[in-house]
Amino acid sequence: MKKLMIASTSTIHGSGYLEYLMPTLAVFFADVKSLLFIPYARPSGISYNEYTKIAQKAFEKIEIDVKGIHEFKNSKEAIQKAEAIFTGGGNTFELVNQLYKNDVITTLKQVLENGTPYLGTSAGSNICGVNMMNTNDMPIVYPPSFTTLGMIPFNINAHYLDPIKDSTHMGETRETRIKEFHVFNKTTVLGLREGSWLEVLGDIISLKGNYTARLFQKNENAKELEIGVLNIK
């Protein structure tokens, strides 16, 4: 049975790395002693080692040891043997590029379908969708495919932002960009606001946190989804 936490972000305003999620993570990973970290997204271009140290420091608080996938000689085997897996945020294009380059995306999909507990934040959440086409990131590299894990039957737009009333900003809103996506694509998109996450237990997907989510479906008006079990077709 799938067991996933798909969070919009790792850090909310005024909070440390993963701090707002720690009470939930302590329960979610209650039986986990060690965790495999996938640092491929490299936020701000930091190294895998630097990124892994950030994750290690956070998970020390709930007594979970963290080791980066790059520290293993065999990446596939590391995924297959992992008690739990965490993929951090950063650039989704580079994350997906490395998952394909290291030939581990299929292996990751298989272990998650078989029940390995998984946490994704930001880019690590984007890859849980059907594809990565609703990321907000710059295309700094060209991955072999936009197809991702398909753990949920829709795409995530992490860090979803509502239009700011009376703002003089003339650029596109997130809603505008998602409408452009739906001109050419049918995949449903969920705008996940900061401080919110999805809990996936088997086929049951629930919205958690303090905020509603924004649902976009082709040729339909956007809808607000309340906290609780989601029924997205």
Active site residues: 122, 137, 159
Q: Measured in whole angstroms, how far is the alpha carbon of residue 114 from the centre of its chain?
A: 18
Distance CA 220, CA 159 (A): 22
User: How many other CB atoms are there within 10 angstroms of residue 146's CB atom?
Assistant: 13
| C-beta of residue 73 within 8 angstroms of C-beta of residue 113 | no
Distance CA 67, CA 75 (A): 12
| C-beta of residue 95 within 8 angstroms of C-beta of residue 40 | yes
Distance CA 34, CA 123 (A): 22
Distance CA 201, CA 204 (A): 5
Long-range contacts of 151-154 (CB under 8 A, 24+ apart): 151/2, 151/4, 151/6, 151/109, 151/112, 151/113, 151/118, 151/200, 152/6, 152/128, 152/198, 152/200, 152/205, 153/188, 153/232, 153/233, 154/129, 154/130, 154/187, 154/188, 154/189, 154/190, 154/232
